Structure formats: C-alpha cells, structure tokens
Amino acid sequence: MLKIVDVMKIGEMLSVIVEGDCKELKNGSKLVDNMGNVYTVESVGMARYDDPHDISKTTTLLVTPCTLEKGSELTSA
C-alpha cells in the first residue's frame, strides 16, 4: 500500500509523493485507490538519495487523472 504524502497539479497531470514500497513502480503502472478509481503512472521521478535503498521508501510519481488527495492510499491494480 502507498500513502499519498503530497500532491501538486501540473497541467492535466498530478505530481504525487508516495510513501511505501515503491520498488515495483514504473511508467505505465496502474494504481487503484480505496474507491476503486484507477490511476496511470505516467512517469516515476528519480530523486537523489545518498542510500539507494531509500527509493523504496518514498518517490514522486506523475499520474493521471488528477483526482487524488493528500492522505489517500493506493495499491497496485
């Protein structure tokens, strides 16, 4: 399960910081919220980490559509 830490709208997409096991996320992945809405990962942001294992804790995603809110939870579809 991924928890939404923060969101920011960018055009028709949404930049989302997620917390949780992010190792399997890649462009084109599908995520689902607790209401059954499906979101497509358009891009996975690669932030700089001193410890490479930290990417499995949080990362930034660009998703569509733009209907997620801070505090929401996502799972893989």
64, part of any domain: yes
9, part of any domain: yes
74, part of any domain: no
Percent of the chain whose pLDDT exceeds 90? 55
- Model confidence at 13, pLDDT cuts 50, 70, 90, reads very high
56, part of any domain: yes
As a whole number of angstroms, the distance between CA 13 and CA 62 comes to 6
Mean pLDDT of 46-52: 71
27, part of any domain: yes
Number of separate domains in the chain: 1
Q: What is the pTM of this model?
A: 0.83
Q: Looking at residue 48, what is its pLDDT?
A: 66
39, part of any domain: yes
Give which of 75, 25, 23, 24 is closest to 53, Cα–Cα.
Answer: 23
Is residue 39 a contact partner of residue 10, using CB atoms and an 8 Å limit? Answer: no
Structural domain span for residue 50: 2-68
Mean pLDDT of 31-42: 94
75, part of any domain: no
What are the tokens at 22? Answer: 């992010």
pLDDT at 33 over 90: yes
76, part of any domain: no
Name the DSSP class of 45.
E
